[in-house]
Amino acid sequence: MDLWPLWIALAAAAGGAAGAWWSRARTRRETRALRRQIANLEARLEETARHADERWRRQLAFFDHMADGVLVLDSRNRVQLANAPFRRWFRFGDEAVGRPWETLAPPPALTGLIARARQSGRSAEIEFEEPGVERRLLHLVARPFQAGTAPDASAGVVVVAHDRTRLRDLENARRDFVANVSHELRTPLSLIRGYVETLLEGPLDETTTRRFLRTIHKHTQRLAFLIEDLLTISRLESGAQRLQTRRLQARTVAQQALDDLRQPAAERRISLHNDIPPELELEADPDRLLQVFLNLVDNAIKYGRPGGSVMVGGAAGGDEQIELWVRDDGPGIPPEARERIFERFYRVDKARSREQGGTGLGLAIVKHIVQSHGGRVWVESQLGAGATFHIALPVRQPAPRTAVGQATATDHSRPAAG
């Protein structure tokens, strides 16, 4: 019997089985390799996503710490980015991102600005004053941008808000300062000119002539005091000179100021008291500290109750500081005036201040001198219960120290104009 066909068939069957087994084995190896590749790819994708998320968080942190506000809207007018300053100024919540712009109830002026920039394809800008107590002034610039590189790519809008409140306030302060100086100079000059013109018209009786001359002298003194105070505050703000500090007793300096002001105090029947402990010492510029006491006590005499008293006191404080104060028993200071009372030319009672002959710079000078020594000044008051001006000064001064300025007054015989 010829068995070759059978062997051939068996060999073919065995080969087919072996081939099938080999094919299945190769498929399993390829599957395992594919699974490993997929796992590696997933890990790389997760790592890439994590890095992208970290970069995005760093960018958000960068935007949130910018001084300017930034808003980004996409082509559908949805918020893609609103950093912390922008959200704070326009009172948007943290959930603003992803929401349609209209649902945030934005100011109409800002919505109109965005619409103009989107329609014109060019930058648009406005000055916007936010409502509320702060009345912050914002300069808003809206710029359209293409969300993609294709010619027909949709346009988004980025808005940058720059806070110009301080610039506005500085400009207002400059205008107020110029206006106040002009007024304070013009008023006595007009009075002097009027009296001089009257004297030039012809001889007057001796009594009238002397009265006119006394008035002219009074207003020339007022001009001299104003110019002196203007020069003083200019030097204080420029920081061009150094404090001439030495160890001194606060009580001694305060007593010199009280002695210089005995006459105006006596005219209003006001008693002066020095309650500063003799052992209270500090490093300070004696001339500048004297001017602080002169200005504060002079104000207390002017605005105190006739027949009342003015008390100068002091005590050791914590953190190597001493605290000094000047207390009167006058009408007190309204709450709304306490924050502004150290501003140049600010007066609580303008009519009374001019009647008393103040320049409106005395407390501003006090503030600058105290700050030049590294201290601070504040006022406590209740209406009808007088006012107390507090000064906190360090016991020791760094050496050398550049002062915020050095006052020019050396003749302490005249009351410091307030």
| Three-class DSSP category at 406 | coil
How far is it, in rounded angstroms, from Cα 191 to Cα 309? 34
Domains and CATH numbers, the chain: 64-163 (3.30.450.20), 170-394 (3.30.565.10)
pLDDT in tens, 307-360: 999 999 999 877 788 999 999 988 888 887 777 888 877 776 655 555 555 667
CB atoms < 10 A from the CB of 296, how many? 28
Residue 83 near residue 69 (C-beta atoms within 8 A): yes
Q: By C-alpha distance, which of 324, 322, 320, 302 is closest to 311?
A: 324
pLDDT in tens, 157-215: 999 999 998 888 888 877 877 777 787 788 788 888 988 988 888 888 888 888 889 88
Q: Is the pTM of this model over 0.75?
A: no
Length in residues, the chain: 418
How far is it, in rounded angstroms, from Cα 82 to Cα 93? 10
How far is it, in rounded angstroms, from Cα 239 to Cα 276? 30
Average pLDDT, the chain: 80
Bond from prior residue into 106 cis (ω within 30 degrees of 0): no
Residue 158 near residue 145 (C-beta atoms within 8 A): yes
How far is it, in rounded angstroms, from Cα 286 to Cα 231? 19
- CA 348, 350, 356: angle at the middle one, nearest 5? 105
Question: For residue 315, which amino acid is it?
Answer: A
pLDDT in tens, 68-92: 999 999 988 899 888 888 888 888 8
